Structure 1
């Protein structure tokens, strides 16, 4: 059996498992089984806590379809809360190893529990080859791309994982139909997270997100960071904004060439995964 904790960051929910003291299966069958909202626990995926040789901890993040992701902004806030609340560390400043690079995290503590987390998300990457994006220019900033006969203007970048940002007049549209067209587009060899954005004013942005491997989610931390920076370089916002997602609001700023994200992290419940689930 495995002990787990269900956590969410503004509605972006994952199953967190201590992989330091438990042997955690990380195959797609197990991930998709326990993530299923009918036959499993229900989540956007699974995040496993591991030891790191170069940082305080290592974060392994898996999408709903079992594929491994590089980074998750909401996930890393909950990850930091998990290791502190479960007494794996007493530190309030952590360096966490991810496939998207080393992330620096500050914990805001109240009554011996982590309530809020601030993360240095690092430098955004615009170079097409490094996103990766198979575009014939060095950068893709507000570039017209035709999809199924309609032209969309894309700004693409990496926040440790690939994103493309599209501006809309409103966010009332069929994201199920449109999101998959960009996720699997030939421009993005590793698929892409797609953010659809409505600019309210220079300090406030609204977005919906289609995450590769998971579909629409309530929130995406790296996506909110991508939206803020894409909007900044397109001249649509200031360097400090509130980004509203379906699950809540994140505080995002651009300071000295780096993106900073602040937001809540919440424990929903804890439980045990029985052994019969491993092989069903």
Structure 2
């Protein structure tokens, strides 16, 4: 067995194990990822992040879901990585940071209170007929898009708290329409002070307290379909508040990200 050092971090309740590449160089075996993320027999987390130094960026961001699969991007995980990179003084500049993820080169900003990450793009934006998915009543519209990873977004008529996300999230995540890769599932409802939402995460296979790429998906749909003149929207998830912003046609996600504790584990 080998002893490795790790950081436990969280961004709006979305929690991660972060290790540095020399201790655990990528690619990481799926069995190890599942063991580390297990909340009863391991450290426990929504995902594993491996950070690696880079010559042409501040760092490389490798992300793995709790089921052992590779994730193209995780915005909350990236915000944790940005916080840690700043703490470790990996950064080459005082302003924006640069890091590589599977979906491309991202920018980030770190302050004492918040961390912002740039969402590179939103692609494959489509509106669907809810009837094609045999969904329950109370859904205004259905959208799908990719904000680094795929999402299907349900605009609800009622508050999100009463929606059976465990049932319908799993149903849509594995629906044939989104095969073979599957999709994350977000539900949202607008309110007088912003948007409330919840997410069923692919790879975690259940609802999580927050999802950064999901916030980006809902924020973009809200601005495009409901408030086209808006430049930002405040979005509340069970894990806390976010702000989704559009500046010069670039998308940014902003919220807190913290180191919870450091430790070592034998694997």
Could you tell me the TM-score, scaled by structure 2's length? 0.89
**Aligned residue for 1:161?**
149
RMSD: 1.9
Instruction: For residues 192-213 of structure 1, give each alpha carbon's deviation from its aligned partner in whole angstroms, at most 9, with x where no partner exists.
Output: 1111001113x50000001101
Residue 252 of structure 2: aligned partner: 260
Which residue of 159, 164, 167 maps to 1:170? 159
Write the distance in 2 (CA, Å) between the matches of 1:206 and 1:85.
32
Report the CA distance between 1:81 and its aligned residue: 1.0
- 2:58 and 2:92 in contact (8 A); partners too: no
In structure 2, the partner of 1:234 is 225
Matches of 2:133 and 2:102, distance apart in 1: 30
Structure 1: where are the runs of 5+ without partners?
Answer: 110-114, 128-138
Change beyond 3 A, Cα 1:83–1:175: same
In structure 2, list runs of 5 or more residues that go unmatched. Answer: none
Match of 2:114 in 1: 116
For this pair of structures, how many residues does the alignment match? 256
Task: Give distance in 1, aligned partners of 2:226 and 2:164.
Answer: 27
Residue 123 of structure 1, CA deviation: 2.5
Q: In 2 relative to 1, CA 89–240 (structure 1 residues): closer, same or farther, beyond 3 Å?
A: closer
1:1-280 equivalent positions in 2, closer than 5 A: 1-19=3-21, 21-24=22-25, 26-89=28-91, 91-92=93-94, 93-109=96-112, 115-125=113-123, 127=124, 139-148=125-134, 150=136, 153-168=141-156, 169-171=158-160, 172-189=162-179, 190-201=181-192, 204-214=194-204, 215-236=206-227, 238-274=230-266, 278=267
Deviations 1:188-239 (A, max 9, x none): 13211111001113x5000000110112111011110110101122225633
User: Matched residues in 2 for 1:184 and 1:69: separation?
Assistant: 17
Relative to 1, partners in 2 of residues 1:149 and 1:260: Cα closer, same or farther, differing over 3 Å? closer
Q: CA 1:42/1:9 → structure 2, altered by over 3 Å: closer, same or farther?
A: same
Do the aligned partners of residues 246 and 52 (structure 1) sit closer, same or farther apart at CA in structure 2, a change above 3 Å counting? same
**Aligned-pair CA distance for 1:90:** 5.5
